[in-house]
Amino acid sequence: MKTGEVLAEVRRLRRSFGDRIVLQDVSLTLRAGEVTGFVGANGAGKTTTIRLMLGLARGEGSTLFLGRPLHAWGSPAKVVGAVLGGVAGHPKHRVRSHLRMVAAGCGAPDRRVDELLEQVGLTEAAKLRLAQLSLGMAQRVGIAQALLGDPRVLILDEPANGLDPHSIRWLRQFLRTQADEGRAVLVSSHLLGEMEQLADTVVVLSRGRVVAASPLTELRTAASNRSVVLVQTPNMAGLARLVEDNGGRLEPTDQTGTRITGMDRIKVGSLAAKEGLELHWLSEETPTLEDFYLSIAEEDFKIT
């Protein structure tokens, strides 16, 4: 598969319970070589979206994997692998035996199990029973299980929940490797900051609706465009006129302090120096991506 090639298309997914709409026209595109961060607060509808994508729940809309619905593929495990909350298996089964059983079901050879155990760093834990696994180890087994069929699309629902920093770093590096090998990777999370170190593209879900979807670089730019310049000056009227004449917006906070939006501190400082306007304080606050997500989610709520 070529980098950037569309491997999965999700179009206008919708689900409701009676009069309560859980998902409303959720669409996203997964491309080869990219990690897509699917971000939203707990209860935003991320898991419901993934379940609809995989045909595990009923709803409206469609999802195509490599141009076809998942049920149309004779060997779906070779098309998409998914991790939905750890390992589903008998707690007394040993890791290697469990994976070999799943491998047999999807037509993968036993050697694939040992390859994946090595990839996820669990070769020495292969004889442990599933009940003996730590949360981090269980996540790794779940990932190995999802990859048994060598799928083109990998989907993980909140895989970092409860993991320690070491495991999170491993997960981040491993998923990056999977994308670099040509897979499309979808990772859901309620922490946008977590996606900053992993995702190429971010889709933000709020109350069942997509409120932002763009490359991470564009999302960072959009966040920086909402920066606020804090200024103190004895000449508030002069500053207000200067800012407004140059397309900015000014909101006084007290007699000498103000918040300016629509321009950065360099422009404010340069304009003030050119006009000989005295400034006592000049600083700039740029919202984090987490702050930006919260702000656009809140704005979307107000609109609806």
> What pLDDT is recorded for position 287?
72
Reported as a single tens digit per residue, the pLDDT across 227-249 is 889 999 999 999 999 999 998 99
* 298 pLDDT above the threshold of 70: no
Half-sphere exposure of 13 (CA within 13 A, CB side): 28
- Region label for 278, one of left (φ > 0), alpha (ψ between -120 and 50) or beta (otherwise): beta
- Give residue 304's pLDDT band: very low, low, confident or very high (50, 70, 90): very low
* Residue 58 pLDDT greater than 50, yes or no: yes
Supply the pLDDT for residue 48. 95
Among 153, 211, 168, CA closest to 35: 153
Q: Which domains does the chain have, with CATH numbers?
A: 6-215 (3.40.50.300), 227-285 (3.30.70)
- DSSP symbols for 53-68: HTTSS--EEEEEETTB
Per-residue model confidence (pLDDT) at position 252: 87
Is the pTM here over 0.75, yes or no? Answer: yes
Query: Percent of the chain at pLDDT above 90?
Result: 63
What does the pLDDT average to over 173-187?
Answer: 95
User: Contact at 8 Å (CB) between 223 and 196?
Assistant: no
Distance CA 80, CA 149 (A): 8
pLDDT above 60 (res 174):
yes
Single out the residue of 94, 77, 179 nearest to residue 130, CA to CA. 94
* Average pLDDT over all residues of the chain: 89
pLDDT at residue 87 is higher than 70: yes
